[in-house]
């Protein structure tokens, strides 16, 4: 299941959904709005997305992770709009019979999401200024890698 | 041909629009779109050099033909998560 | 914080405790009683511990993980006694400024816990029989490694 | 000297007690404790060969002296988590 939402993420409900007797291991990852980044203070984050494409990319990540690690459950929720300090911008829950698959899939999902899903973060700093964050990485997909160096 | 290009994040701020229209020659490819955008919106240049394009919600490469009808989007480096 | 308990683990509360603005990443791992193991069906698990020593070993794991990965939070709770199907026998929550530390610390904690903390699992099978599980690994500690091959 | 040894999990089931008492020579080490337990409780042998011992809640090695007073425990291979 993938979801984009402007509401707070209910990670308890996601864990409950994944915690079933078929799964020996349940992993939850939360990306949380951090107060301090490289010495600067954040007031809040705002997330924008290319909505239809982000949903398709997230669904593709879910599908790929389920196949690669034989997951029993794979839930990815990304929040959009304002995300106050201490609240989650992203939640990933994976469940699998054994724990190593859960750790590997969870880390791959967040790493890949950050590389390929068209969602953007705007830092609103405590001093009143703001910046769109556009990290120095190529968007990760096969065609880009070969043609857009 | 005239095509609409969706703009997001800093690209939207730089152009002041969530969608811009550019004039392209027939049979244009993504590389031509990039050049046309840069000449129309010089302020986009730093971001364009690092942006990708998507056509109908799929990442395109430089050789992908720009369709006459279809959803075209400029994708600055993403920062979700 | 480490805890041994005979009550169900409240993983929601643990996540809430770790999700603070200093931490960009929060990771929860749950080990859950699985219904099927190698084709056999489990009715429930029961866990026994050498209580005082298990607490000391868990506290040592927490301390080591906090130092190694500079964690903002590290919570380890192990349930003892009966653990029904689908319920958690162990919960580990780690929080850190960046996500890679959270994944690395979480996986190290559960791997090491399973090697070194004096807690034992008794499988109660659906057919009415039961077995203490004593895996084929050496107890992991430095003296043992050098002298007890 | 007579020492008490805590038993857990399958070791407790095999001896029928959560604590057993064994007679050891003075200055005995963990290796001597292992031998004494095996001779007193032959049914423990398969588990003993894979078990560790703890003295005062710390893992001991084979050369660790067995104290006259102190908490001694037989630790079969652990299976928490």
Q: Which domains are seen in chain C, by residue range?
A: 2-147 (3.90.1170.40)
Query: A143 to chain C, minimum CA–CA distance in Å?
Result: 27
Asked if residue A37 lies in contact with residue A116, where contact means CB atoms within 8 angstroms, the answer is no
Q: Among D14, B36, C145, A139, which Cα is nearest to A148's?
A: A139
| Cα–Cα distance measured from residue D80 to residue D75, given in angstroms and rounded to the nearest whole number | 13
Percent of chain A with pLDDT over 70: 91
pLDDT digits (tens, 9 = 90+) for A3-41: 999 999 999 999 999 999 999 999 999 999 999 988 899
Our CA-based measurement puts residue C60 at a distance from the nearest CA of chain A, in whole angstroms, of: 22
Which residues does B29 contact at the CB level (< 8 Å), separation at least 6? Answer: B62, B63, B64, B65, B66
Which ipTM score applies to this complex? 0.93
Identify which of A48, A137, A141 has the shortest CB distance to residue B77: A137
Question: What is the C-alpha to C-alpha distance for residues B15 and D36, in angstroms, rounded to an integer?
Answer: 84
Q: Is C135 on the interface with A (CB under 8 A)?
A: no
CATH superfamily of B2-75: Beta-grasp domain (3.10.20.30)
Percent of chain A with pLDDT over 90: 88
Cα–Cα distances (Å) from A1 to A66, A94, A106, C40, in that order, read 11, 11, 14, 30
pLDDT at D81 over 70: yes
Per the prediction, chain B carries an average pLDDT of: 97
Q: Which helix (H) or strand (E) holds B2?
A: strand B2-6
Contact yes or no for C89/C78 (Cβ under 8 A) = yes
User: Distance (Å) from the C-alpha of residue D23 to the closest C-alpha of chain C?
Assistant: 23
Measured CA distances, D36 to A1, C34, C95, D30, D50 (Å): 59, 39, 47, 10, 16
The CA distance from B76 to the nearest CA of chain A, in Å, is 7
- Residue spans per domain, chain D: 2-75
Query: B77 and B51 in contact (C-beta within 8 Å)?
Result: yes
Report, as an integer, the average pLDDT of C69-83: 98
Average pLDDT over residues A80-89: 97
Q: What is the pLDDT of residue C9?
A: 98
Among the listed residues C81, C76, C82, C77, the one whose alpha carbon sits nearest the alpha carbon of residue C94: C76
- Residue A118 contacts B where some CB pair is shorter than 8 Å: yes
**In a mutagenesis test of the A interface, which of C8, C29, C70 is the best target, namely the one with the most A β-carbons within 10 Å?**
C29
Average pLDDT over chain C, rounded to an integer: 91
Give me the mean pLDDT over the A125-140 stretch.
Answer: 82
Dihedral of CA atoms A144, A146, B1, B2 in degrees, nearest 10, equals 20
DSSP letter string, B26-72: TT-BHHHHHHHHHHH-GGGHHHHTT-EEEETTEEE-TTSBPPSSS-E
Q: Looking at chain C from residue 65 to 84, which residues have their Cβ under 8 Å from any Cβ of chain D?
A: 78
* Binding-face residues of B in 27-56 toward A, CB within 8 A: 47, 50, 52, 54
Cβ contact A116–B50 (<8 Å): no
The answer, for C8 touching chain A at a CB cutoff of 8 Å, is no
- pLDDT band at A141; cut points 50, 70, 90: very low
pLDDT for A145 equals 31
C38 or A96, which is more confident?
A96
Beta-strand pair A73-79/A81-84: unpaired
Q: Do B8 and A120 touch (CB under 8 A)?
A: yes
Is there a contact between D34 and D50 (Cβ–Cβ < 8 Å)? no
Q: Would you state the pLDDT for residue C141?
A: 40
- In chain D, the residue whose alpha carbon lies closest to the alpha carbon of C110 is D81
CA distance A125 to A71: 39
Burial profile D40-66: b = 16 or more Cβ within 10 angstroms, e = fewer:
ebeebeebbebbbbbbebebbbbebeb
Banded model confidence at residue C148, pLDDT cuts 50, 70, 90: very low
Q: Which chains touch D (3 or more CB pairs under 8 A)?
A: C
Verify whether the Cβ–Cβ distance A30 to C25 is below 8 Å. Answer: yes
The mean of the pLDDT values for chain D is 97
C145: pLDDT strictly greater than 90: no
A30 and C CB contact within 8 Å? yes
Secondary structure (3-state) at D6: strand
Average pLDDT on C46-73 reads 98
Within chain B, which residues score under 50 in pLDDT? none
Q: Could you tell me the pTM of the whole model?
A: 0.93
Chain B: list its partners (3+ Cβ pairs within 8 Å).
A
pLDDT at A137 over 70: no
**Is the pLDDT score of A56 beyond 80?**
yes
Whether D22 contacts D36, CB under 8 Å: yes
pLDDT of residue C146 exceeding 60:
no
DSSP B24: -
Look over chain A and give the mean of its residue pLDDT values, rounded to a whole number: 91
């Amino acid at each position: 299941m993938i979801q984009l939402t402007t509401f707070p993420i209910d990670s308890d409900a996601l864990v409950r959904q994944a915690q079933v007797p078929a799964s020996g291991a349940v992993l939850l990852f939360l990306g949380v709005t951090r107060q301090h980044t490289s010495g600067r203070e954040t007031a809040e984050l705002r997330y924008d997305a290319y909505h239809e494409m982000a949903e398709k990319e997230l669904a593709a990540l879910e599908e790929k992770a389920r196949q690669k690690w034989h997951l029993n459950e794979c839930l990815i929720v990304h929040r959009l709009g304002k995300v106050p300090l201490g609240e989650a911008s992203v939640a990933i829950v994976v469940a699998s019979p054994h724990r190593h698959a859960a750790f590997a899939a969870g880390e791959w999902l967040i790493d890949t999401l950050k590389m390929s899903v068209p969602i953007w973060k705007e830092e609103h700093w405590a001093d009143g200024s703001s910046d769109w964050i556009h990290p120095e990485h190529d968007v990760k997909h096969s065609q880009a890698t070969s043609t857009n160096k | 041909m005239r095509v609409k290009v969706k703009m997001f994040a800093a690209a939207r701020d730089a152009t002041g629009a969530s969608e811009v229209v550019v004039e392209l020659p027939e049979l244009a490819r993504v590389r031509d779109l990039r050049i046309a955008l840069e000449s129309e919106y010089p302020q986009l240049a730093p971001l364009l050099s690092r942006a990708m394009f998507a056509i109908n919600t799929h990442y395109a490469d430089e050789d992908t033909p720009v369709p006459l009808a279809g959803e075209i989007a400029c994708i600055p480096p993403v920062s979700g998560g």
